[in-house]
Amino acid sequence: MEEAQRLLLQRSRLRLVRELQVAPLWDLLLHKGVFTQDMIEEIQRAGTRRDQARQLITDLQTRGRQAFPAFISSLRETNQNDLADLLSEGCKFPQLRPLDIKPIEIGLRGGKGETYGKIPEYLPTSVRAVTERRQESALPSAATQGSAPDRSQRNSDMVYVLKADPCGYCLIINNVNFTKECDLSSREGSNLDCEKLEKRFKSLHFEVLIQRDLKAQEIVRELQHLAKQDHSALDCCLVVILSHGCQTSHIQFPGSIYGTDGKSIPVEKIVNFFNGTHCPSLRGKPKLFFIQACGGEQKDRGFEVDSDSPVSQLHGSSVESDATPFQIHPCNLDEPDAVASLPTASDILVSYSTFPGFVSWRDKQSGSWYVETLDDVLEQYAHTEDLPTMLLKVAHAVSAKGKYKQMPGCFNFLRKQFFFMAK
């Protein structure tokens, strides 16, 4: 697309997103060769009408010279003349008939040929570098092919694009003090976890919201309030829960979180507040959950490993002596806390601090193993690695700690790679 056409689209973007009726356009844009059926279906999966309009405008800019006049023509054919006139300002295009447009030759997604790509406002350095290396190795030499087209965004349709700043809300619920009636101990060290994560996610361009010491019904209200917000201008949503937890009867996945009144909330219910039915403005956008709580009362003593294993080297070392709070002594014992669960839905990742049924350890002076390790990994790798890769690093590090063992994990239902906005 020519630069003047691109500028017109950008200048009119807000009005297009607000007013564009996308549904009547699909058949016309397909017939005129502006988009393929796969591309249209992906745009339709973007979520609300506004999300679809926003994605259509973004993708339109990659479709070549014929796309812009064909789009204006389609607007007129669907009686969206005001928008057509707005985009025609400063540029005169003839009203095109279907026969005037020839399909644009493109390769199939995931197949051979030139791959369709979006133009994201933000892609991590590692994604760009890997993409460029793959392209350079696949392209013919300039001597035989001539100058090659710019394909630096070739694989961006496999990465969630974060273009808003802030990129989304981050709600942290930090339960420390519980009522005497519920017989749950105070979670000393959790405030340090909360402070670390608040600072970390602010640095990753989230708008951080913090709620402390909430009863079960208050947790539900906060989650429902966040889910009902308009996330259309944002790119993702993140929820952190620091509390006691337990096993519970369930339909899909185990795990519940305690409010400060001792009443529990199933994690699958927490996640469902943000599904496509209850939170349409987050459809197609990543929804991330980090749970530090207890999954049960079992204590994992681990198992014997080969002598050259990094885990076995911890026994008897200074690292184990740092973990002496795990001796059976009430005043020194770390507090047990974590499990998470989620329904089988797309664009969701739930990271939980321990295997279902087992305790999760928290040091009163330094905070929980899981949050401390997660914060360290994010600090070192958020600018280069995707989230699942970083969570593997967290799991590896936490699993090597202490006399008693802990195994973090995650349920990953993301459709694309997720990189934090760590510029």
Residues noted as catalytic: 244, 294
Cα–Cα distance for residue pair 271/207, rounded to 1 Å: 20
DSSP state letters, 67-110? HHHHHHHHHHHTT-HHHHHHHHTT---PPPPGGG--PPP-PPTT
Tokens of 51: 């999300």
Cα–Cα distance for residue pair 358/407, rounded to 1 Å: 9
Whether the Cβ atoms of residue 291 and residue 353 lie closer than 8 Å to each other: yes
Strand-pair partners of 238 = 170, 288
For the stretch 269-278, contacts whose Cβ atoms lie closer than 8 Å and that sit 24 or more positions apart, written own/partner, are 270/223, 270/239, 270/241, 271/341, 271/342, 271/343, 271/345, 271/348, 271/350, 272/343, 273/223, 273/224, 273/226, 273/227, 274/223, 274/227, 274/237, 274/239, 274/348, 275/343, 275/345, 276/47, 276/345, 278/227
Cα–Cα distance for residue pair 349/318, rounded to 1 Å: 35
